[in-house]
Amino acid sequence: MTNPESSLLGVCFIGSGSAVPDRVLTNIDLAQMVDTTDEWIASRTGIHERHIADGEQDSVANLAAKAGQKAIANAGLTPQDIDLIILATSTGDDLFGTAGRVQKILGAERAVAFDLVAACSGFVFGLVTASQYIRTGAYKNVLLIGADVLSRWVDWQDRRTCILFGDGAGAVVLQAGSQNNLLGFEMRSDGKGNDLLNINYSGRSTFEPISMNGQEVYRFAVRRVPEVIEKSLHYANLEVHDLDWLILHQANQRIIDAVVNRFGIDPAKAVSNMGKYGNTSAASIPIALDEWVQAGKIQSDHVIAIAGFGAGLSWGSAVFRWG
Ligand code: COA
């Protein structure tokens, strides 16, 4: 399929949407399940509660489709307008891929749909991947969704990990246009750090629960995230003070604070909603983006830097203009 108006090779951001399960699990609830306290979790992570999937209604496909539906509507399009669906997820409902189920629920019959697995960097990697199809004129309207249900893969007896994660989905619609609003990006990975954070195949058609070296992952994030933000700003010909918003993967408030301090930017520009959602993996950046868009804080022409990081190890950043 080719974009018939192939002079339109810029990437525009024309709509966002998000969805989380109804069920809320607070720190107080967790303190009844494992040996922890609200105070410990809140002071070490900034997380107060998270939304947890509750059965089939909150499958990755259903959450992703809900977020996608809202993004398509907010973009002023219909599912039939979508040419490509990229579902960034590491917790799919089907190892063969979950994007096809999302396509079916949406009724996006013209689209081609596939999964992209890059853990908590999935949304950034998905954005860069989607943009390549637009920049080459291959596709015009792309639905990019980040969706994860990590609660399925958490050991609920392990207080070092079970406090961190939540479930949800966020989406954006990208459209080919005359102006290119994806201003710069940088993606990185380092497989040598794979054992620091993974969900390992354990044989007999099963996987182990999430395994994580929290301190090492923390150090990795604080060191590597600023580097890729600097790179993507450099490619965008911009400086940190040109940013209206910084949206980091919502893993830990202390990681956000460290990056904010490092750059000396106004903390009010650093979007944070992990208090309500925990770490929703590939969904965290688009959920935060959508919340700020719906609240009218992010407006047309605002310049936003996003950065994801996590298992792989993988990390990446993109700088774009909203609209
Ligand atoms: N409640 C109470 N105590 C806990 C606890 C919990 N939920 N989890 C761990 N502890 C204890 C540990 O057992 C340890 O006790 P000890 O000193 O008696 O052995 C103590 O708290 C300190 O543990 P430590 O692992 O050093 O804590 P930390 O300050 O590094 O915080 C994380 C732990 C997980 C919050 C932090 O390392 C982190 O956020 N890392 C990044 C993780 C991340 O973002 N992962 C996803 C990336 S996509």
Give the span between the Cα atoms of 282 and 183, in whole angstroms.
21
For residue 249, indicate whether it is catalytic: yes
User: What pLDDT shows up at residue 2?
Assistant: 59
Q: What is the 3-state secondary structure (H, E, C) of 39-74?
A: HHHHHHHCCCEEECCCCHHHCHHHHHHHHHHHHHHH
Cα 239 to ligand 1 centre (Å):
34
Using CA positions, which residue lies closest to atom 15 of ligand 1?
Answer: 160
Residue 57 lies in a domain: yes
User: What pLDDT shows up at residue 312?
Assistant: 96
Probe residue for ligand 1, chosen from 250, 252, 284 as the CB with the greatest number of ligand atoms within 8 Å: 252
User: What pLDDT shows up at residue 19?
Assistant: 98
Give the span between the Cα atoms of 118 and 126, in whole angstroms.
9
Residue 106 amino acid letter: L
Domain finish residue from 158, 177, 196: 177
Cα 87 to Cα 5, 99, 196, 248: the distances in Å are: 25, 6, 24, 19
Residues 118, 51 share a domain: yes
Using CA positions, which residue lies closest to atom 41 of ligand 1?
Answer: 218
Residues 173, 186 share a domain: no
Residues 195, 102 share a domain: no
Strand partners, 316: 187, 308
Residue 281 lies in a domain: yes
3-state class of 33 per DSSP? Answer: coil
Cα 214 to ligand 1 centre (Å):
6
For residue 51, indicate whether it is catalytic: no
> Tokens 């792989």 sit at which residue?
312
Residues 202, 135 share a domain: no
Cα 262 to ligand 1 centre (Å):
23
Angle formed at CA 202 by CA 169 and CA 217, multiple of 5 degrees? 55
Q: Is the CB of 258 under 6 A from ligand 1?
A: no
Domain boundaries, position 32: 10-177
Q: Is 214 exposed, middle or buried (0-12, 13-18, 19+ CB in 10 A)?
A: middle
Domain finish residue from 143, 177, 211: 177
Give the span between the Cα atoms of 187 and 190, in whole angstroms.
11
Residue 1 lies in a domain: no
Specify the CATH number for the domain of residue 164: 3.40.47.10
Residues 163, 221 share a domain: no
Residues 159, 21 share a domain: yes
State the total domains in the chain.
Answer: 2
Residues 188, 135 share a domain: no
User: What pLDDT shows up at residue 3?
Assistant: 63
Give the span between the Cα atoms of 232 and 301, in whole angstroms.
18
Residue 49 lies in a domain: yes
* Model pLDDT for residues 148-173, shown as the tens digit of each residue: 999 999 999 999 999 999 999 999 99
For residue 27, indicate whether it is catalytic: no
Give the span between the Cα atoms of 16 and 298, in whole angstroms.
11
Give the span between the Cα atoms of 287 and 226, in whole angstroms.
21
Residues 314, 192 share a domain: yes
Residues 217, 114 share a domain: no
Q: Is the CB of 188 under 6 A from ligand 1?
A: no
Q: Is the CB of 276 under 6 A from ligand 1?
A: no
H or E segment and range at residue 119: none
Q: Is the CB of 302 under 6 A from ligand 1?
A: no
Q: Is the CB of 279 under 6 A from ligand 1?
A: yes
DSSP per-residue codes, 77-111: --GGG--EEEEE-SS-SSTT-SHHHHHHHHT-TT-
Residues 34, 168 share a domain: yes
Residues of the chain with pLDDT under 50: none
Q: Is the CB of 308 under 6 A from ligand 1?
A: no
Residue 2 lies in a domain: no
Residue from 120, 162, 181, 198 carrying the catalytic annotation: 120
Domain finish residue from 145, 177, 209: 177
| Contact (Cβ atoms closer than 8 angstroms) between residue 143 and residue 263 | no
* Model pLDDT for residues 52-100, shown as the tens digit of each residue: 999 999 999 999 999 999 999 999 999 999 999 999 999 999 999 999 9
User: What pLDDT shows up at residue 7?
Assistant: 76
User: What pLDDT shows up at residue 151?
Assistant: 98
Q: Is the CB of 211 under 6 A from ligand 1?
A: no
Q: Is 262 exposed, middle or buried (0-12, 13-18, 19+ CB in 10 A)?
A: middle
Residue 245 lies in a domain: yes
Residue 3 lies in a domain: no
Residue from 181, 198, 249, 252 carrying the catalytic annotation: 249
Q: Is the CB of 158 under 6 A from ligand 1?
A: no
User: What pLDDT shows up at residue 204?
Assistant: 84
Residues 215, 158 share a domain: no
292-296: which pairs have CB atoms within 8 A and are 24 or more residues apart? 292/245, 292/247, 293/16, 293/322, 294/16
Cα 90 to ligand 1 centre (Å):
23
Phi, psi of 25 (to 5 degrees): -120, 115
Residue 125 lies in a domain: yes
Residues 264, 173 share a domain: no
